[in-house]
Amino acid sequence: MGTPEQRESHISNIISYLGVSTIGELIWVQRTLEQNFQDKQLESDRKDANIYEQKKQEVEQLLTDYQSMISKIANLQDEKSSVQTQVEGLRTNLSMLSSEKEAVETERDFLAQELQRIGTLYEELTGKKANQEELRGILSIYITLMEEVFSGRAHFKVLSIVHGEKEVWKRKELVKSTVISEIKLRSVLGDLVRANMILYNEEDATIKLIKRLSTLD
């Protein structure tokens, strides 16, 4: 602390350094400096408050953007799921269409073969090849005969039954299914054996189809 004389000398040196002449002026300078410091401190606090508010708004905006992004991602995931479901549906439909196309092509090839057979038969009977118009007419005659003439005949009934899923049939089964008498059925079976369409074993009374009509040469 020093002696009073030393303290007074120290104060005098400060007053001389600051360019003031009295203690009152020194006090004024001190208060002015304090006020300036407080003003600067207040200005700094305001700047800090502004920066804080700005950063706060930026963070809030980032949170809003993040929530919006999450919502968009959720919507995109829903849309992705919906698109995947639609794609699976399209694949299923495509598979069904492919199967139907194959079935149609198979049926078309079968009909082409049958028409060729009819054309060959026509050529053997008439000695000339049939054109498309003549083939249609022949086919119409065949259909009419099948519908109007042979649908009630015993031979047609027997052939229709033995073309089922079973490979071997019993004579009693055919009698029951066709409502044809035993004597008549024996005659029909004999005709079909001679036509090389069925195999008939008289001993065990079994009937077996040799080959289906759709694969006849």
Q: What was the pLDDT predicted at 2?
A: 56
Fill in the amino acid letter for 63.
Answer: L
First to last CA, the chain: 136
Going from the first residue of the chain to its last (217 residues), give the mean pLDDT of each consecutive group of 10, the final group possibly shorter.
59 57 59 70 70 78 82 83 84 81 79 78 76 76 63 76 86 88 89 88 90 54
Quick one: tokens of 61? 């905006």
* Exposure b/e, 8-44, CB count within 10 A at least 16 = b: eeeeeeebeeeeeeeeeeeeeeeeeeeeeeeeeeeee
Q: Which position has the token pair 């080959």?
A: 211
What distance lies between CA 150 and its chain's CA centroid? Answer: 49
pLDDT given at position 26: 56
Residue 104 carries which side chain, given as an amino acid letter? V
User: According to the 3-state scheme, what is the secondary structure of the chain?
Assistant: CCCHHHHHHHHHHHHHHHCCCCHHHHHHHHHHHHHHHHHHHHHHHHHHHHHHHHHHHHHHHHHHHHHHHHHHHHHHHHHHHHHHHHHHHHHHHHHHHHHHHHHHHHHHHHHHHHHHHHHHHHHHHHCCCCCHHHHHHHHHHHHHHHHHHHHHCHHHHHHHHHCCCCCEEEHHHHHHHHCCCHHHHHHHHHHHHHCCCEEEECCCCEEEECCCHHHCC
pLDDT of residue 148: 59
pLDDT reported for residue 201: 92
Domain range 153-217, its CATH number among 3.60.15.10, 1.10.10.10, 3.40.50.300, 2.40.30.10 = 1.10.10.10
> Where are the chain's structural domains?
4-81, 153-217
Whole-structure pTM value: 0.37
C-alpha 133/C-alpha 115 separation (Å) is 12
Q: What is the pLDDT of residue 217?
A: 40
Length of the chain as a residue count: 217
pLDDT at position 22 is 56
As a whole number of Å, the CA-based R_g of the chain is 55
Predicted confidence at residue 4, as pLDDT, reads 60
Determine the pLDDT at residue 170: 92
Phi, psi of 193, rounded to the nearest 5 degrees: -65, -45
